Amino acid sequence: MASAASARPVGVAVPTNLSVGEMFLQADWLVKLVMIGLLTASLVTWTVFIAKVIEFRKNHRQQSQIYGAVRDLRSLEEVGARGELNGEALVREAIAELRLSDDALSDPEGIKERIISRFQRHEAAVARRLTAGVNILATIGATAPFVGLFGTVWGIMNSFIGIAEKQTTNLAVVAPGIAEALLATALGLFAAIPAVVIYNHFSRIIAAHRALVADTAAAILRIISRDLSRGKVKAGGE
């Protein structure tokens, strides 16, 4: 019986090292580009993760402190006495509307509707700011597997071309090329899975923060409603 070595066509080099690095170096140039792109996408994912975690923690801590400060206050005078609240965006929006409506204080429901409208726009602006940079994770999660699959298809196609050129189906000759191609799929999943998980996690964090902003807005609106009912809101919103 002929040995495997004698069955191998002369001049066919069989790689002896199938490490990830060697598979990358031996891959076709297009497959290399796909791999580099997927590794870059993975780096972007983790960069966004670190940056947004820091941002979310800071914003949530500040908003929690503001909500805790206004939750039990009874009037705008008490809000004004808390110096750290005067620069809070929701308080500024409410005061601005009261000043613009200083000649319509006899219509408290209209004033409250306009303040609610301002609060809703502020909440939407906060959501847009928090979402900045997060949507790219959804794009990476949705496209990375298909990019990796493209690299795999291209690499396997080249492997079959190599089979035809070398006139052999010896597994030792074919396997390295197929392994290099499948590496692209693995990198696609490596980039996509964390991106999807992180995106879903951030979506929940953003929703929770929007709810906290809405709770703060509701607390401030209750304070203004009390003052309007008491007739304590003066012209100029003071």
**Domain segments of the chain as ranges:** 24-150+185-230
d(CA 113, CA 237): 16
Residue 224 has pLDDT above 70, yes or no: yes
Tell me the percentage of the chain whose pLDDT exceeds 70.
Answer: 83
Confidence (pLDDT) at 194:
96
Residue 204 has pLDDT above 80, yes or no: yes
Q: What pLDDT, in 10s, does the model give residues 141-187?
A: 999 999 999 988 888 887 777 777 777 666 666 666 777 788 889 99
Question: Rounded to two decimals, what is the model's pTM?
Answer: 0.80
pLDDT tier, 56 (very low <50, low <70, confident <90, very high otherwise): very high
pLDDT tier, 103 (very low <50, low <70, confident <90, very high otherwise): confident
Q: Which two tokens stand for residue 89?
A: 């965006």
Cβ–Cβ under 8 Å, residues 123 and 210: yes
> Coil, strand or helix: which one is 3?
coil
Q: What pLDDT, in 10s, does the model give residues 72-86?
A: 888 888 887 777 776
Sequence-distant (≥ 6) Cβ neighbours of residue 194 within 8 angstroms:
42, 45, 46, 49
Residue 10 has pLDDT above 80, yes or no: no
